[in-house]
Amino acid sequence: MTAQTFDCRNAWADAMAEAARADERVVVVVNDSVGSSKLNAFVDEFPERSINVGIAEQNMVGVAAGLANGGKIPFVSAAGCFLSARAMEQIKADVAYSEHNVKLVAQSPGVAYGDLGPTHHSIEDFAWMRTIPGLTVVAPVDPVETAQVIAWAAGHEGPAYIRVSRMAVPAVYPEGYQFVPGKAVTLREGTAAAIIATGTTVARALAAADLLAADGVEVRVLAMPTIKPLDEAAVVAAAAETGGVVTVEEALVTGLGGAVAEVLAEQHPAPLRRIGFRDEFAITGTAEWLLDRVGASPEGIAATVRELA
User: Any idea what the CATH number is for the domain that residue 32 is in?
Assistant: 3.40.50.970
Residue 175 inside a domain? The answer is: no
Percent of the chain with pLDDT over 70: 99
Query: Tell me, what's the pLDDT at 2?
Result: 60
Do 122 and 43 share a domain, yes or no? yes
Query: Both 239 and 146 in a single domain?
Result: no
Does 36 share its domain with 163?
yes
Same domain, 123 and 250: no
Residue 236 maps to which CATH number?
A: 3.40.50.920
Query: Do 104 and 190 share a structural domain?
Result: no
- HEC secondary structure over the chain: CCCCEEEHHHHHHHHHHHHHHHCCCEEEEECCCCCCCCCHHHHHHCHHHEEECCCCHHHHHHHHHHHHHCCCEEEEEEEHHHHHHHCHHHHHHHHHHCCCCCEEEEECCECCCHHHCHHHCECCHHHHHCCCCCCEEECCCCHHHHHHHHHHHHHCCCCEEEEECCCEEECCCCCCCCCCCCCCEEEECCCCCEEEECHHHHHHHHHHHHHHHHCCCCCEEEECCEEECCCHHHHHHHHHHCCCEEEEEEEECCCHHHHHHHHHHHHCCCCEEEEEECCCCCCCCCHHHHHHHCCCCHHHHHHHHHHHC
With a cut of 50, say whether residue 73 has pLDDT above it.
Answer: yes
Tell me which residue range forms the domain holding 126: 5-170
Domain boundary (170, 195, 227) is at 170
Name the β-bridge partners of 185. Answer: 223
Judge if 127 and 34 occupy the same domain.
Answer: yes
The residue among 170, 202, 229 that closes a domain is 170
In the predicted structure, residue 63 carries a pLDDT above the cut 80: yes
Asked if 39 and 165 sit in the same domain, the reply is: yes
Of 57, 124, 145, 232, which residue is the catalytic one?
A: 57
Give the tens place of pLDDT for each residue, 163-216.
Answer: 999 999 999 999 999 999 999 999 999 999 999 999 999 999 999 999 999 999
Backbone angles phi, psi at 77, to 5 degrees: -125, 120
pLDDT band with cut points at 50, 70 and 90 for residue 3: confident
In this predicted structure, the answer to whether residue 294 has a pLDDT above a threshold of 50 is yes
pLDDT band at 1 (very low <50, low <70, confident <90, very high): very low
**With bands split at pLDDT 50, 70 and 90, how would you rate the model's confidence at 309?**
confident
Are 199 and 122 in the same domain?
no
Structural domains counted in the chain: 2
Q: Is residue 237 part of a domain?
A: yes
Residues 209 and 259 in one domain: yes
Q: Same domain, yes or no, for 152 and 28?
A: yes
Does residue 79 share a domain with residue 158? yes
Report pLDDT for 280: 86
pLDDT in tens, 144-166: 999 999 999 999 999 999 999 99
Q: Give the residue from 146, 170, 194 where a domain finishes.
A: 170
Residue 56 shares a structural domain with residue 112: yes
Q: Is 57 a catalytic residue?
A: yes
Residue 180 within any structural domain of the chain = no
Residue 39 domain-assigned (yes or no): yes
At 286 the pLDDT is: 95
Average pLDDT over residues 274-289: 94
Task: Tell me what the pLDDT averaged over the chain comes to.
Answer: 96
CB neighbours (10 Å) of residue 131? Answer: 13
pTM for the whole structure: 0.97
